[in-house]
Structure formats: C-alpha cells, structure tokens
C-alpha cells in the first residue's frame, strides 16, 4: 500500500547553481524532484527524509560546494507519482551508438544502435544526468569483448546492462539500496539480459568476495570514492581499468592524487558541463 502522505522539502542554497545542485540531490533517491527559479523541491516517502537531506547538505558545505542552505518541510497528501514519473521521462540519445528509452515510449533504432530500455522507479540512473552519459560514453571506449566488470553503486543497472550490450561477458552490479535490486532485475529482464550476464546484488564493495575484474566502475560522489579507493583498486586486475564519475571539475585534483598515490595511473578524462569522468589503469 502506498503511503497516504509524503514529505516535501524545499532546498535553497547560496550560491545556487540549478544544474549542479539538481544532479547532486538526485543522489538522495527522492520519489520526485522539481526545479524552481531559486529553489529545488524534493519529495520523499521515507520518515527520515529531513535527517538524510540535512546530512547531505552539510556534506556539500564541508566540500565547499555551497556556502549555506535553508530547508523547509511540509507534509502533504500523496500524489499520483507513477503518472508524474512517466511524464518526466524522455528518450535520450546518449551517443551515436547508445540510446535510452523508458518502456512505455516507442523508438525506431537504426542498424547497429544499442537501445537500452530503462525504467528508473526509485533508482538513480535514467541517462538524463551528465554523469551517466559520461560513463556510457567512456564505456564505448574501454569495454572490450569478453571482459568481466563490477559496477559499484549500480542504481538502475543501466551501466552494467550497457557494458554487456557493448560486448562484456559478465557484469556484477552492486548497490546497498534494496530498491536497486528489484529495479535492476526488472531492467535486465526488459533488455533480455540474463543473470549470467548481469548479476544484480545488494551489497557494498566490502561485501564482494570476487576480484580480478577487467574493469571497475563507480558513479558515486567524491567523498565515497575517496573512502573506497583502495577497495576499488583491489577488485581490479593488474592491467585493468577503473572508471570513476559522479564528480565535479573541482573534485579532479583530490581524486587523481588519491588514486595515483594508491598505485594506479591516470589514463583519461571526459567532461560534460560541470561534471567529469576519470579513467585510471592499474
């Protein structure tokens, strides 16, 4: 049964950068997000919405991404989230080779095009956000036929599914959010991807016993990437590739310094608006 009420949070920050803040706030997995001229509204059904949003905004302050913020709360009667969610999703042409569409919208693919059918539900990774686009563009360059990879913080599973469609033999897609497990399984089924190709698992990287992956990717915010740096490298085979995103331009120096000092070499970079994707080789 859906909850009768939901929490609306109005976030105002100084400075206020709509695109950057919107992209960051999606990491909280709200059931909805609306952009205003000088504010962003977030919608949640969890009881701890205020606590987790406050903690997240405090982290943004610590990272000097914002100077200050205000947070206003209202508890309102539920809305038809499925209807609003469907209206908000679009067909996304990521590259000449990769397009993402929701299951309820038709699209005529050209020969050789990879069309990913993704319904995000509560999981991050629709393809709308620049970080997802950056990783998909990077996967086109670095996925070789037959490789094994791990996708840390998989969300909808879109990156793992795309890697398999690009020729990877196996992808282990992990996330510590229970919503992602169900949503990942649904998206794999819609893309005719078997469990032998993409394995969805509820876990963090420390709960994975496997290692020696040819490619390790993580589209997560900077502070988490810094914390799990050694674990990401440990999961990657010698000569393997690490792809990191969820990062802003100002995060580059700290991430490159941390990972290169841990023993990997900086290999490549891509950027889209204020977001970046970094590639390392072990």
**34, 63, 84: which is the final residue of a domain?**
84
CATH code, domain carrying 203: 3.40.50.150
- Domain count for the chain, please give it: 2
End position of a domain, from candidates 61, 84, 107: 84
User: What percent of the chain has pLDDT above 90?
Assistant: 67
Q: Cα 213 from chain centroid?
A: 20
Burial class (CB in 10 A: 0-12, 13-18, 19+), 155: buried
Q: Is residue 191 part of a domain?
A: yes
Select from 54, 69, 84 the last residue of a domain: 84
Whether residue 173 is found in the same domain as residue 34: no
Interval 270-281 mean pLDDT: 95
In a domain, residue 95? The reply is no
Note the pLDDT of residue 79. Answer: 58
Cis peptide before 146 (omega within 30 of 0): no
In degrees, rounded to 5, the angle at the alpha carbon of residue 54 between the alpha carbons of residues 48 and 59 is 130
Residue pLDDT, tens place only, 30-45: 877 888 889 998 988 7
In degrees rounded to 5, what are phi and psi of residue 99? -130, 145
CB contact set of 57 (below 8 Å; sequence gap of 6+): 11, 13, 66, 69, 71
What does pTM read for this prediction?
Answer: 0.77
Q: How far apart are CA 246 and CA 225, in angstroms?
A: 9
Both 151 and 209 in one domain: the answer is yes
- pLDDT at residue 2 tops 70: no
Residues 15 and 146 in one domain: no
Give which of 102, 136, 149 is closest to 245, Cα–Cα: 136
Domain that holds residue 9: 5-84
Q: Let me know if residue 65 belongs to a domain.
A: yes
The stretch 79-93 carries a mean pLDDT of: 67
- Please report whether residue 106 resides in a domain: no
pLDDT at 143 over 90: yes
* 166-214 confidence digits (pLDDT tens): 999 999 999 988 878 988 999 999 999 999 999 999 999 999 999 999 9
Do 74 and 153 belong to one domain?
no
Express each pLDDT in 128-137 by its tens digit: 788 999 999 9
DSSP alpha helix (H) spans, the chain: 18-25, 49-62, 81-88, 130-142, 158-165, 178-190, 222-227, 229-234, 252-261
Query: Residue 1: what pLDDT?
Result: 36
Specify whether the CB–CB gap between 57 and 65 falls below 8 A. Answer: no
Q: Are 47 and 135 in the same domain?
A: no
Q: Which residues contact 211 (CB under 8 A, 6 or more apart)?
A: 234, 235, 236, 237
């Amino acid at each position: 049964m859906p909850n009768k009420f939901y929490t609306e949070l109005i976030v105002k920050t100084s400075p206020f950068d709509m695109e950057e803040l919107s992209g960051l706030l999606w990491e909280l997995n709200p059931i909805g997000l609306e952009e205003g001229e000088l504010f962003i509204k977030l919608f949640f059904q969890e009881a701890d919405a205020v606590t987790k949003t406050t903690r997240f905004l405090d982290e943004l302050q610590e990272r000097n991404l914002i100077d200050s913020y205000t947070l206003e709360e209202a508890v309102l009667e539920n809305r038809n989230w499925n209807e609003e969610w469907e209206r908000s999703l679009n067909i996304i042409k990521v590259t000449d080779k990769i397009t993402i569409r929701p299951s309820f919208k038709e699209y005529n693919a050209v020969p050789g095009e990879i069309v990913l059918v993704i319904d995000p539900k509560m999981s991050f990774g629709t393809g709308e956000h620049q970080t997802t686009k950056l990783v998909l563009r990077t996967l086109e360059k670095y996925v070789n036929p037959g490789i094994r990879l791990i996708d840390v913080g998989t969300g909808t599973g879109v990156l793992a599914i795309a890697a398999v469609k690009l020729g990877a033999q196996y992808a282990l897609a992990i996330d510590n959010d229970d919503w992602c497990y169900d949503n990942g399984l649904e998206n794999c089924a819609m893309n005719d991807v078997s469990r032998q190709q993409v394995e969805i698992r509820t876990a963090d990287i420390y709960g994975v016993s496997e290692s020696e992956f040819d490619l390790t990717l993580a589209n997560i915010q900077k502070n988490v990437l810094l914390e799990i740096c050694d674990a990401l490298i440990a999961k990657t085979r010698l000569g393997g590739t690490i792809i990191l995103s969820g990062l802003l331009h100002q995060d580059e120096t700290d991430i490159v310094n941390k990972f290169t000092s841990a023993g990997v070499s900086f290999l490549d970079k891509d950027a889209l608006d204020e977001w970046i994707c970094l590639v390392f080789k072990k």
